[in-house]
Amino acid sequence: MTARIIDGKAVAAALREDVAKEVTRLQRDHGLTPGLAVVLVGSDPASEVYVRSKGKQTRAAGMNSFEYVLPGDASEADVLAVVEKLNRDPAVHGILVQLPLPKGLDPNRIVAAIDPAKDVDGLHPVNAGRLATGLPALTPCTPLGCIILTKSVHPSLQGMDAVVIGRSNLVGRPLVQLLLNENATVTIAHSRTRDLAALCRRADLVYAAVGQKEMVRGDWLKPGATVIDVGITRIPGPNGKDKLVGDVAYDEALQVAGAVTPVPGGVGQMTVACLLVNTVRAACAIHGLSKPAV
């Protein structure tokens, strides 16, 4: 019996529909249109594609989309000036500075300059601290997407044994906090972990977020486990076309797991959808409205 394939594309599409309904309600009942501003510094091709996708999906949901493109040689003061302008702009409810930034710019300083109420990437120290202490916070989009995908298989995660492989501030650490909020029992693993395979074999839920292609093998998995693959690596494929693979050996996992996300078509689909969710939540909080139904 092969694993159920978790369709991130379908889950993300449903989430975007829910966001669009909430935007329509906010416009009708409160005259409020949520606005998302994305700041891109330089011309990283992957970042440019991602920013275009964000703008397209923001507009499709009925929200206002603002894009600020600065040259690669922009100074830190230039970027901070744009962030400060957006902090003051009442039409902007979400601010995202696209990472990675060009060398010479301090991402920590720039993220810390964003108004925490508009920090839809969930990376500001205030939001990270609130999440870590169990308080309501804007949450990084990829971990939020991981939780939503997991709950499409298991409506309750209470008491489940989860392993998170990777401890980045963008994915691993906030994902641990979100799992704790769901009353899962969580182990965080990393490059110094001893016998990672044995640790994974105990887990009901495995989250792979280390950026090492196909590191998690099929025989690392507990039969029936749910596997969420956050990694994405481009490798040469047949006919000269590149192929995208994740941190999990997908074909092997299909033979052992109960459910698994594909790459592409899994977690990546959720990240922008959750960015839209965060923008709507931020707009409601800024205007003193009740939490939206997304």
Catalytic residue among 115, 119, 121, 229: 121
Q: Got the DSSP string for 255-282?
A: TT-SEE--SSSSHHHHHHHHHHHHHHHH
Instruction: Copy the structure tokens of residue 130.
Output: 């609130």
Measured in degrees and rounded to the nearest 5, phi and psi for residue 81 equal -65, -40
Q: Got the DSSP string for 134-193?
A: T------HHHHHHHHHHHTT-S--TT-EEEEE---TTTHHHHHHHHHHTT-EEEEE-TT-
Catalytic residue among 98, 118, 119, 269: 98
The Cα–Cα gap between 193 and 175 comes to 18
Find out whether the peptide bond into 236 is cis, omega within 30 degrees of 0. no
Measured in degrees and rounded to the nearest 5, phi and psi for residue 13 equal -65, -40
Catalytic-residue membership of 21: no
What residues form DSSP beta bridges with 37?
Answer: 66, 95
The Cα–Cα gap between 167 and 77 comes to 30
Catalytic-residue membership of 291: no
Give residue 173's region: left, alpha or beta (phi > 0; psi -120 to 50).
Answer: alpha
Instruction: Copy the structure tokens of residue 142.
Output: 């990829």
Catalytic-residue membership of 54: yes
Query: Catalytic amino acids?
Result: 54, 98, 121
